[in-house]
Amino acid sequence: MPKVDLERVRPYGDTLDDGKVQLAFSLPLRYGPEAKEAARQLAMKMGFEDVDVVSAHDLGGPFTFFVVYGKCVHSVDVTQLHIPKVEVEQMDYFQINDFIRDKLGRKITVVAACTGSDAHTVGIDAIINMKGYAGEYGLERYPWFRAYNLGAQVPNETLVARAIETGADAILVSQIVTQKNVHIANLTRLVDLVEAEGIRDDVLLICGGPRISHELALELGFDAGFGPGTLPSHVAAYIAQELVRKEHRTSARLTEER
């Protein structure tokens, strides 16, 4: 396998470091040669060389969809990237349950929902529902978890009230709808509400979705953020391990106060 220069990483298509990329986008132009040339010039202004418009499809009216090939002249120094990551030791279903039993000795309570106007439950269902996702069980199947899935379009106030009612250890929020950054506004309101209710120190706040990163989650005031590809065990392991770390920190503080 060829050695990759991590200080100068570029895309590749046919051969390493050739910079070849494929772009797909739409323009508000009627299908025709002018639209095709506009797409080519736009890709060149993005910084791509050797641009070819390999596909153009009429979307009806003044709209055309394009697939463009080009050569990227830029590179990234991966050695200088420092990305916040969720600190968790990966465990499987059985290891997580054994860990909770041995380290906590009690069930973990989780409440989850798609909040605001979001009606897409595919993400939260993958993590919570008993059937799970990608061959893994959801949290409802874990004997050491008590999971409540409130479903879609749940007001933040209802989610927080349910968390208080159940004495939840963690609140999970899935945000699929992100147009005009509505997910950011909604997640910010949830954090504000949790703080206003005085339970921020009592619960883990976790969010997930296609445009969620751990870095964004931290910026918004959450404890963790999980993006695409997250499995139920990833979330379960994080919650269990973080609760144990939290108990250790509390115990250490009480010892110092004595």
Q: 71, 103, 131, 246: which is the annotated catalytic residue? A: 131
| φ and ψ of 75, to 5 deg | -140, 170
**Cβ within 8 Å of residue 47, ≥6 positions away:** 72, 73, 74
CA–CA dist 124, 196 (Å, integer): 25
Backbone φ and ψ of 219, nearest 5°: -60, -35
Query: Which residue is associated with the tokens 């797409």?
Result: 39
Give the DSSP letter of residue 145.
E
Beta bridge partners of 233: none
- Give 34: exposed, middle or buried? Use CB within 10 Å, 0-12, 13-18, 19+: exposed
Whether residue 29 contacts residue 63, with contact meaning beta carbons closer than 8 Å, is answered with yes
Q: Which residues of 132-165 are buried (b: 16+ CB within 10 A; e: fewer)?
A: bbeebbbbbbbebbbbbbbebebebeebbebbbe
Nearest to 188 by CA among 217, 213, 149, 158: 217
Place of tokens 């106060």: 257
Active site (annotated) includes residue 131: yes
- Pair of tokens at residue 150: 């409130």
**What are the residue numbers of the active site?**
131
